[in-house]
Structure 1
Amino acid sequence: MAYATLDDLKLRYGATEIVRNAAEDGQVDGPPDMPRVEGILDAASATIDSYLARRYATPLSPVPTVIVDACCKIARYDLANGGQSTPSEQMRDGKRDAIKWLEGVAAGTTALLDANPIATSSSFAKTADRPALFEPRDRAGLY
């Protein structure tokens, strides 16, 4: 499940840029190569999940806006990185910032609001909630 869509990319970065970078090879402003776009969005989402999985149940649902933004930043860079185009410094910085933010979430220095945290404990339960397999001996040593 991708955390962003082609429409999310267009909304954030403008249809002209996204269509130009998402067009099929050899076309300047043709229709977007949807399998490529979807693959890049899926890969960006998998990258995000790889950072979140230690602290949150993934895939996230509902998807927080900050995750859509991070997915778009990563996907924008990857869309521009191929064919006849090269990512700009702004695109490179956007992806770098998104990854740095995800590292903060993974390290626990940044919280992800409205996401379901998973239990993260290195200790074990000290009580049992099931019956013992053996009954204790009575005073005479008999069972």
Structure 2
Amino acid sequence: MYASRQDIEAIYGARHLETLVPADVDIDVAVSRAITAAAAMIDPYLRKRYRLPLPVIPAIIQQCAIDLACWQLAPAADRMSEEIEKRAKIRIAFLTALADGKVDIAELEAAQISIGGGPNSAETDSGAAFFTDERRWPTGGGLL
């Protein structure tokens, strides 16, 4: 998960969630499902450039999850504000640019280098890593 209910409330307040969820719906269940749906939307974009799960959750990815979760919670016309829809579109545009390599996230670039890095390694677009470090085999060909 890239965000939690507490993260949403820290930015937009508990009242914001209450306005998005109908009174006859369990708010905890609704928010949990919306956060899960937001993560499911984000993962395909991230997977194009990064190995999942991410070693760190950058603030911009957390904000994407928060705004997409709020968008998921407000599908009805009476709950969908222009601001919620605008934020969701901005986040999706960012994720598209990220997947296309037009923008970078410094925290993830640094983490990716430290995971597979080294002068004798290479990584493919699919995330597969290849290493050319010298292999050491015991004398006689047995296993270590």
Please confirm whether the aligned pair reaches a TM-score higher than 0.5, indicating the same fold. Answer: yes
Matched, 1:20 2:19: yes
Deviation at 1:12, TM superposition (A): 1.5
CA distance in 2, matches of 1:61, 1:120: 18
The aligned counterpart of 2:47 is 53
The aligned counterpart of 1:93 is 86
CA distance in 1, matches of 2:7, 2:73: 14
The aligned counterpart of 1:44 is 38
Match for 2:64 among 66, 70, 81? 70
CA distance in 1, matches of 2:125, 2:9: 41
TM-score (norm 1): 0.72
Matched, 1:7 2:6: yes
Contact 1:21 1:85 in 2 (8 A): no
* Corresponding pairs, count: 120
Amino acid at match of 2:82: E
Where 1:114 maps in the other structure, the secondary structure is helix
Amino acid at match of 2:124: T
TM-score (norm 2): 0.71
- Structure 1 stretches (4+) deviating beyond 4 angstroms? none
Q: What are the residue-to-residue correspondences of 1:118-129 with 2, within 5 Å?
A: 119-121=123-125
Structure 1 residue ranges without an equivalent (≥5): 27-31, 131-143
CA distance in 2, matches of 1:63, 1:121: 21
Contact 2:20 2:79 in 1 (8 A): no
Deviation at 1:85, TM superposition (A): 3.9
Q: 1:61 to 1:121 in 2, by over 3 A?
A: closer
More strand by share: 2
Structure 2 residue ranges without an equivalent (≥5): 117-122, 136-144
RMSD (CA atoms): 2.6
CA distance in 2, matches of 1:79, 1:59: 25
Q: Which has the larger radius of gyration?
A: 1
Contact 1:64 1:114 in 2 (8 A): yes
Amino acid at match of 2:46: L
Identity in percent: 29
CA distance in 2, matches of 1:58, 1:97: 23
